[in-house]
Amino acid sequence: MTSQIQQYKLIVKDRLFYNQFEYAIGFQLDEVSCLRELNHAYIDTMIERRRAWREVAHQRWQKGNNTVGNILSRRTREITDCTVSDLHELADCLLGSKVDYKLVVSANYAHVYANDQTLINQLSDLPSLRQKTYSRAVVTRPKDTIRLKHPRHKFRSYLKSTKISQEQKKHLTDFLSLQNEIRTSPALDGWILTPFCRTQDYFFIDHDEMNWLTMLSLVRPGLVRKTMQIIPAK
């Protein structure tokens, strides 16, 4: 059992993580994306494929541009036997768990979500896991709502992260500039002034009527990711 009490960062939300889990641990582990399937044979297969690909890539770029080769070398470090052992150790810990959990991996970083702190503590005790972070979801408001101290609008709609054309961006910018009854987020305002054409999922627009989204969809269909009701903070 872990000898220390974890300090969880409280995340104020309208629901639990993935609508199910209260606690989360994040950590770094090389090649952890090999655990997209929790199966020892699958892990070994993925390791073999990555080692083979990196060997071919190194041989190819050694004959070419040195700058590109140096960048490639930094991005494709050797997969050591210690790393493979660490991956199997993590898999054993998760496979042996008696509680429900969710594993989310991305490159060399992962999160495990659970309602039982026992699993979180077990993972915390694994020395191979680095840069550990701990989070706890605290539900303080109804689902699909956001609290503001001095709300001026009824709804907040978040945009999707998506690439649009220069022409589509101009149409969107022109449309938003004519809307006097909305509020665009500072990040969206800044993006409008740049040449970039990819919207981000943290861009939002505050508005008062749901049918306003219909007009937005005529300018650029499918741009809205989700809409939340704005409620006053207590």
168 and 200 assigned to the same domain: yes
Task: Mark which of 85, 111, 139 sits at the end of a domain.
Answer: 139
Per-residue model confidence (pLDDT) at position 135: 97
207 and 159 assigned to the same domain: yes
In a domain, 153, yes or no: yes
134 and 149 assigned to the same domain: no
Cβ–Cβ < 8 Å for 25, 124: yes
46 and 132 assigned to the same domain: yes
116 and 33 assigned to the same domain: yes
The per-residue pLDDT for range 44-100, each reduced to its tens digit, is 999 999 999 888 877 776 665 555 545 455 456 789 999 999 999 999 999 999 999
Placement of tokens 């909305």 in the chain = 182
The per-residue pLDDT for range 198-222, each reduced to its tens digit, is 999 999 999 999 999 999 999 999 9
Is pLDDT above 80 for 36?
A: yes
44 and 118 assigned to the same domain: yes
Q: How many domains does the chain have?
A: 2
In a domain, 1, yes or no: no
Residues 6+ apart with CB under 8 A from 112: 24, 25, 94, 101, 102, 103, 104, 119, 120, 123
Query: Distance between CA 77 and CA 93 in Å, rounded?
Result: 26
96 and 165 assigned to the same domain: no
Query: Distance between CA 138 and CA 231 in Å, rounded?
Result: 17
124 and 224 assigned to the same domain: no
pTM: 0.78
Task: Mark which of 104, 139, 174 sits at the end of a domain.
Answer: 139
- Mean pLDDT for the stretch of residues 106-126: 96
The per-residue pLDDT for range 140-181, each reduced to its tens digit, is 999 999 999 999 999 999 999 999 999 999 999 999 999 999
18 and 78 assigned to the same domain: yes
Query: Distance between CA 132 and CA 128 in Å, rounded?
Result: 10
| 190: containing domain | 145-232
The per-residue pLDDT for range 55-71, each reduced to its tens digit, is 887 777 666 555 554 54
Query: Distance between CA 38 and CA 128 in Å, rounded?
Result: 18
Is pLDDT above 50 for 3?
A: no
Is pLDDT above 60 for 196?
A: yes
77 and 93 assigned to the same domain: yes
Is pLDDT above 90 for 129?
A: yes
Diameter of the chain measured on Cα atoms = 65
